[in-house]
Structure 1
């Protein structure tokens, strides 16, 4: 049986001494060989004073260097860790003597994950709300027949649906990360499960709720299948974003997964927002939206099958791009090193 790799942990960082890598949430931060040795010395002697001579002996191993070399080493380490010499979280200066590593050892992988996953869930909820409000506003202006008040009400209602959808996806995403302690392929499964649950809830409210209140059964509204598909597409984007993928990679995956999700829903006969509004218009008398106008913008004589395909593509892309943007904001604040 092989020896367990020696890994030193602090805050969101892992110092893999066997593989000589510094990682933050799984993302490798490049360090020169001597700088890595200096950081390992500091972390190993956490809380102790490490003198200049100790650095010279352990890092430079007797090679004559100036004090400036050590100063530059510490400056580089602070930059890599996002630390501030004036208000240190990791490396504190002991004037005229040396340096001390002051970061406490993390309590557990779960404790490290909680602040991050809570902000992920919040980001997904807020961006879902924003995407839903935008969609409701646009559809209200295009198809509304009751004036500006109706447009605002529709934007608020669909914004609330987006909030619920984003919260469900964010909860599944956060649960997977909290369980695994990192962003990996299980994020996709967790987000898909969150989407499935939200889709099932939305279907129940859209069909059974309306039927209960009006006595009219409504068919062909968004359900668990569509929720799971959108959840899977969003989970792929989250995996790439939170595992450290570049912004271009996140953008590319958002486009491809959004179009793939829309295509799968379209081919299966499913629907998202526009199709659900069409089902409500057909099932409820006095429904004050003329959804055929949405199809007119696509050059169709109404909300035809072709027009529905276009709305599926646009709606999925708006929602997934919104979530991707929120994840990138969270990543910049919590995963990427502070550049200040």
Structure 2
């Protein structure tokens, strides 16, 4: 459900996070837009300072000066004056009231709340950094799962379990960070070139995953060939990066969660999980299946993840285990990246508001 508000020559599309004046877009701080939407949703009603802090700042400690600065900036963007208000009226010592006539309408839509970062270099860099950090956090989770599950006795230091775990953590964190970085670069570039639509987000994330996945696989295959004389039969590459990246990009625009502040996290988690489960059926390999391929190519190594197949009733890391762990990897990857994006967006809004 998308909500649009019209007043005077202005229009606010709450779903697309856009403020326009006569059709011309107006650049507005995300937090300030939330404050405007709150007032437009309650025209003629007093919005207290406490309600602004609860609904807009969501419990983040801020001073009254932050709210005053927010209203001052909104008035400037709308061409309003505190002494002769046409839109926002000050109720001394209490709060603010939107006094202009507001026309509101609801539009059915399948696309959820948009990822909104400023269109400048700082916004793009913040989005990329958030995706990289989110990917690295997903790698931490995956590293522990595979590091503890791929060794026969992870609690006995004598067999090198601690070293094995550290190596698996490092590999997974690096892979997750590189994948997240590429997806972030793709989304930021697509937003810059084609706007912040769900199509551009999905395409950008997919292209970013394709490019970095293909590059890493090519370099990795050459490295194994040069150093060890043979190349693993199947490791994750551009195909997997494109599909998983596209799924996470699309999922970040789905509005499946009930919690208003986090509308895209469940969408990205479910989309990533679904794609991770389907990939093995399409011949794709994520981290678990890639590790299994490495173990098969180098049987003399201590790497063996057949034990994880028994979680799914298999004697080895078969197709069912690949689907199960693929769903797990995609779910965690989508969740971690979108949580990081939301946190970075909130932090950036806080910095802009000061």
**How does the TM-score come out when normalised to structure 1?**
0.70
Asked if 1:29 is matched to 2:75, the reply is no
Distance in 1, matches of 2:303 and 2:329, equals 18
In the superposition, relative to structure 1, how do residues 224 and 73 fare at CA in structure 2: closer, same or farther (>3 Å)? Answer: farther
| 2:276–2:286 CA contact under 8 A, matched in 1 | no
Q: 1:235 maps to which residue?
A: 249
Q: 1:317 to 1:43 in 2, by over 3 A?
A: closer
- Equivalent position of 2:128 in the other structure: 121
1:39–1:150 distance in 2 versus 1, CA, 3 Å: closer
Q: What is the aligned counterpart of 1:323 among 327, 337, 341?
A: 337
- 2:305 is the alignment partner of 1:291: yes
Q: Which residue of 2 aligns with 1:140?
A: 147
1:16 and 2:36 equivalent? no
Query: Which residue is 2:221 aligned to?
Result: 207
SS in 1 for 2:217: helix
Contact 2:90 2:97 in 1 (8 A): no
Q: In 2, distance between residues paired with 1:112 and 1:213?
A: 44
Partners of 1:59 and 1:143 in 2: CA distance: 63
Distance change >3 Å, CA 119–CA 248, structure 1 → 2: closer
Q: Deviations over 1:271-307 (max 9, x none)?
A: 1011111111111243221211111222221111211
**Stretch moving more, 17-26 or 189-198:** 17-26
Tell me: CA distance 1:74–1:143, structure 2 relative to 1, closer, same or farther (3 Å): same
1:79-98 counterparts in 2 under 5 A?
none
- 3-state secondary structure, aligned to 1:239: coil
Where does 1:195-274 land on structure 2 (aligned, <5 Å)? 195-240=209-254, 246-247=260-261, 249-274=263-288
1:305 and 1:42 map into 2 onto residues whose CA distance is 60
Task: Normalising by structure 2, report the TM-score.
Answer: 0.68
Q: Deviations over 1:54-93 (max 9, x none)?
A: 34xx569xxxxxxxx6345994389xxxxxxxxxxxxxxx
Structure 1 pair 285–331 and aligned structure 2 pair: CA distance change class (3 A): same
- Please, which runs of 5 or more residues in structure 1 have no aligned partner? 61-68, 79-109
Cα separation, partners in 2 of 1:280 and 1:42, compared to 1, 3 Å: closer
Structure 2 unaligned segments of length 5 or more: list them. 1-7, 12-16, 46-71, 99-116, 153-159
Does the C-alpha gap of structure 1 residues 111 and 170 become closer, same or farther in structure 2, counting only changes over 3 Å?
A: closer
Aligned counterparts of 1:206 and 1:6: Cα–Cα separation in 2: 57
| Aligned partners of 2:277 and 2:324 also within 8 Å | no
